[in-house]
């Protein structure tokens, strides 16, 4: 069990985001390497509570963080202030960005690409990213590796799985994947979220995440239609708690 930094005032959404995403670290070295190599300001899409952005800012990089959920960015801003680092935050849908400036690199960690609501949503995200990149800049986006999709089904509900757990101000938050439903164009992951109060009272509910089904090759094809050029793919191996992913690095259209 791990203790969270910050306070309960950050909001329930921020806490559950930390429970299910905050501990993942296998990709952090790659984002740091890409951001440092960009040679200019960096924009993170779907920044959440700052898992990536705060580390980049701590490395003295110029970082702006975008997310559609105000609660998550409030938590990010609080943590940035506590750590004495600067991260500018913007509440926005990444498919409709209009920031009035350009970046050397745009990063899209975790499963953001899978949350765009289908091919039209991904196209809008790609077009918005292209408008915000400097000449020679790049978009780096993480997708589930091909084998990861197959691994999701047997993993969910497996007896040996342990829940993600976080304690904050005496409240214990637990999240466990219990079912995965496969459809033609998406995957639904159902997680059991349990909350135990300091007095020992238990409440629980099922949370559903809907992921678009898209692989790296298809995504690179969609990016090519917008004018991006595929620079490289970088694989991030599976960990005990997280499936494998692949990061597509795409050079901006000129």
Domain residue extents for the chain: 2-145+213-251, 148-211
pLDDT in tens, 183-199: 889 999 999 999 999 99
At residue 214, the pLDDT reads: 96
pLDDT band at residue 230 under the 50/70/90 scheme? very high
* pLDDT score at 153: 58
* Chain segment 124-158, per-residue pLDDT in tens: 999 999 999 999 999 999 999 987 766 665 554 45
Q: Which residues contact 170 (CB under 8 A, 6 or more apart)?
A: 197, 198
Instruction: Encode pLDDT of 72-116 as tens digits.
Output: 999 999 999 999 999 999 999 999 999 999 999 999 999 899 999
Confidence category of residue 5, pLDDT binned at 50, 70, 90: very low
DSSP collapsed to 3 states, 92-148: CCHHHCCCCCCEEEEEECCCHHHHCCCHHHHHHHHHHHHHCEEEEEEEEEEEECHHH
Ramachandran region of residue 164, left (φ > 0), alpha (ψ -120 to 50) or beta? beta
CATH number of this structure's domain 148-211? 2.20.25.110
Q: What is the pLDDT of residue 147?
A: 77
Of 29 and 241, more confident? 29
Q: Looking at residue 68, what is its pLDDT?
A: 97
Please indicate whether residue 10 or residue 83 has the higher confidence score (pLDDT): 83
Q: How many CA atoms lie within 13 A of 61 on its CB side?
A: 29
Task: Give the residue from 151, 178, 148 showing the smallest Cα distance to 163.
Answer: 178
Selected residue with higher pLDDT from 239 and 103: 103
Task: Give pTM, 2 decimals.
Answer: 0.91
* Percent share of the chain, pLDDT over 70: 91
Q: What's the topology of domain 2-145+213-251?
A: Rossmann fold (3.40.50)
Q: What pLDDT does residue 3 have?
A: 35
Longest CA span, the chain: 60
């Amino acid at each position: 069990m791990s203790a969270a930094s910050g306070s309960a005032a950050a909001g329930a959404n921020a806490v559950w985001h930390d429970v299910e995403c905050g501990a993942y670290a296998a990709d952090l070295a790659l984002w740091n390497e890409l951001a440092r190599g960009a040679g200019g300001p960096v924009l993170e899409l779907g920044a959440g509570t700052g898992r990536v952005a705060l580390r980049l800012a701590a490395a003295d990089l110029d970082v702006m963080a975008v997310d559609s959920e105000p609660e998550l960015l409030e938590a990010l801003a609080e943590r940035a202030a506590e750590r004495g680092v600067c991260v500018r935050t913007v509440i926005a849908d990444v498919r409709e960005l209009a920031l009035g400036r350009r970046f050397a690199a745009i990063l899209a960690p975790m499963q953001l690409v899978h949350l765009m609501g289908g091919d039209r949503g991904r196209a809008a995200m790609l077009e918005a990213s292209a408008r915000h990149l400097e000449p020679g800049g790049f978009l780096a986006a993480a997708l589930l590796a091909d084998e990861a999709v197959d691994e999701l089904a047997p993993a969910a509900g497996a007896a040996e799985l342990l829940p993600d757990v976080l304690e904050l101000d005496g409240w214990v938050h637990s999240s466990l994947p219990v079912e995965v439903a496969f459809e033609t164009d998406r995957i639904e992951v159902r997680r059991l979220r349990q909350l135990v109060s300091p007095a020992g009272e238990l409440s629980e509910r099922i949370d559903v995440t809907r992921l678009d089904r898209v692989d790296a090759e298809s995504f690179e094809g969609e990016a090519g239609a917008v004018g991006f050029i595929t620079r490289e793919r970088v694989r991030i191996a599976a960990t005990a708690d997280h499936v494998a992913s692949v990061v597509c690095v795409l050079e901006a259209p000129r």
